[in-house]
Structure 1
Amino acid sequence: MARTRTVALSEPIEVGGKALAEVVVRRSTVGDEEDAMQQAVQLKRGQNPVTVEMCLLSRVTRLPYDAIRSLHGADYAAIREALGELNGPVPGGPENPTPETDGTPENV
């Protein structure tokens, strides 16, 4: 399974005085998810799912949060899609079944 994916941007963004025309996205870890939530909380936007996602994308692309904010919608969507594909289920891999016990929605 691929660990990174390169996304070509429709319009370059400026990061650290350099124009970037493409971005490398890597698979995320649970730690990335936790760190993204913490960053969103520090920004006083922990309840905003878009902010949490932007913080996660910042981590997996190594782009500053403000650079993520400056992306056009199509480029943001392409990075998001790349991350989804990288983190997607492993073909033929096991599923995590939800046990049917008292109190689960299936048995209420």
Structure 2
Amino acid sequence: MRRTTTITLDNPLRLKGGDVFELEMKEPTMAEEEDSMALAVDMGRGNVPLTNEMCMYSLLCNVPYEAVRTMTSADYEKLRRAYNGFVRPIGRAASRRNSGTPPKNSGSSAGASSGSDASQAGEEAN
């Protein structure tokens, strides 16, 4: 069974059925990832990452795209955090760093260590 999470909004969404103060987001599947891109392309905005993202949240929360567009930035950020909780679980990056797998760009050349601080910062940002 797919995981879900409930997002409590600071500002309700106005839908035909009334004001909505909570959204339930389901864990995304690859089909929904693909469908959200198709929706954005159908709107003529396939090259706009934010449109694709809003289409994704619309699908995952089962609310109209136009409703997502009316959200405050603070409430929208809650959707992003919920989504990221599904696709980037906390601890994954840390376990990858401690897995014994050598970091990318680790070579045996003499100059390889001179940029290690920059490459480590780049890895932590990913």
The TM-score, its normalising length taken from structure 2, stands at: 0.69
Which residue matches 1:4?
Answer: 4
Matched length: 96
Unaligned runs of 5+ in 1: 96-104
Name the counterpart of 2:14. Answer: 14
Structure 1 residue 59 corresponds to structure 2 residue 66: no
**CA–CA distance in structure 2, aligned partners of residues 6 and 76 of structure 1:** 13
Mind listing any 5+ residue stretches in structure 2 that lack a counterpart? 97-103, 108-126
Change (3 A) 1:89 1:9: closer
List per-residue Cα deviations over 1:3-57 (Å, max 9, x = no partner): 1111110011111231001111111010001000000000000000000000000
Higher helix content, 1 or 2: 2
SS in 2 for 1:13: strand
Could you tell me how far apart the structure 1 residues matched to 2:29 and 2:18 are? 28
Name 1:75's counterpart in structure 2.
75
Look up the SS of the partner of 1:68 in the other structure: helix
* Cα distance between partner residues in 2 of 1:54 and 1:29: 16
